[in-house]
Amino acid sequence: MVILIKHCFRVIKAVINYLNQLGAKEFSNFIIECNLLEYPLIGHRYTGFTGQSKSHIDRAFATLDF
């Protein structure tokens, strides 16, 4: 039973890794197709505060028309 659970866990982990790679590739293709440019985020460590919660924007994109 333990071996079966370990095997199932490995299979699930492999599927999740595959889907993450697929999603990253689709996201990259989307950026290219939309002619988006990535703007560097420099300066403050957090971009927003709500009470005790802090938020951070990981990436910002815009087109040349922006």
Residue 1: pLDDT band with limits 50, 70, 90: low
Nearest to 34 by CA among 4, 62, 3: 62
State the pLDDT at residue 44. 67
Its pTM stands at: 0.57
CB within 8 Å of 47: residues ≥ 6 apart: 41, 55, 56, 57
Determine the Cα–Cα distance for residues 55 and 62; give it in Å rounded to an integer.
20
pLDDT at 37 over 70: yes
pLDDT at 66 over 80: no
Count of residues in the chain: 66
Query: What mean pLDDT do residues 40-49 have?
Result: 70
Q: Where are the domains of the chain?
A: 2-62
